[in-house]
Amino acid sequence: MRLLTWVAIYIRACAQRQLHLPSKTPEVCIRPELSLTLCFDAKLARVEVEGREWFRRVKLVDDTLTLVASEALHDGERVPVTVYF
**pLDDT of the residue at 20:** 54
- Read off the pLDDT of residues 27-69 as tens digits, 9 standing for 90 and up: 888 888 788 888 888 888 888 888 889 899 999 999 899 999 8
C-alpha 7: how far from its chain's center? Answer: 10
15, pLDDT greater than 60:
no
From 3-7, 13-17, 19-23, 55-59, the region with the lowest mean pLDDT: 3-7
Which has more confidence, 20 or 51? 51
The end-to-end CA distance of the chain, in Å, is 37
| Alpha-carbon distances of 51 from 55, 69, 70, rounded to whole Å | 8, 11, 11
